[in-house]
């Protein structure tokens, strides 16, 4: 099973690359309403006053909606899962593992 450990001292670029390597999809990371700077650490872009956990583990069998909610609640950061080509957001009912098989917004069977 694919898993990913995320820590607050991880840089945004590292998180996005490790997410892509693990699940094949693109991860959009936000700092407020804007995309986060790739050189920023996750701890530095957390919601103001947030004092959450230092580390979370993400599993490929999680639904996209649950992953995004968990990341917001436990890390204090808004994220969204997009297709591998970053052309659109992945359906919330899909698992992270399924997001790898999306091309042009449609799921393909490999």
Whether 110 shows a pLDDT value over 80: the answer reads no
Taking the domains of the chain in order of start, what are their residue ranges?
3-107
Write the pLDDT tens digit of every residue in 30-69: 999 999 999 999 999 998 877 777 789 999 999 999 999 9
Given a contact cutoff of 8 angstroms between Cβ atoms, the answer to whether 12 and 46 are in contact is no
Whether 27 shows a pLDDT value over 60: the answer reads yes
The pLDDT value recorded for residue 106 is 47
CA 61 – CA 34 distance, rounded (Å): 28
The pLDDT confidence band at residue 1, using thresholds 50, 70 and 90, is low
In 5-61, which ranges are continuous DSSP H helix?
A: 12-23
- Contacts of residue 49, defined as CB under 8 A and 6 or more positions apart, other chains included, come to none
The pLDDT confidence band at residue 83, using thresholds 50, 70 and 90, is very high
């Amino acid at each position: 099973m694919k898993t990913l450990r995320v820590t607050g001292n991880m840089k945004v670029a590292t998180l996005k690359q490790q997410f892509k390597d693990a699940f094949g999809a693109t991860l959009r990371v936000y700092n407020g309403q804007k995309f986060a700077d790739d050189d920023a650490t996750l701890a530095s872009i957390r919601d103001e006053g947030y004092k959450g956990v230092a580390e979370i583990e993400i599993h490929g069998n999680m639904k996209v909606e649950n992953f995004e909610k968990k990341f917001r609640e436990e890390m204090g950061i808004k994220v969204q899962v997009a297709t591998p080509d970053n052309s659109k957001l992945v359906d919330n009912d899909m698992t992270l593992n399924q997001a790898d098989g999306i091309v042009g917004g449609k799921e393909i069977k490999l």
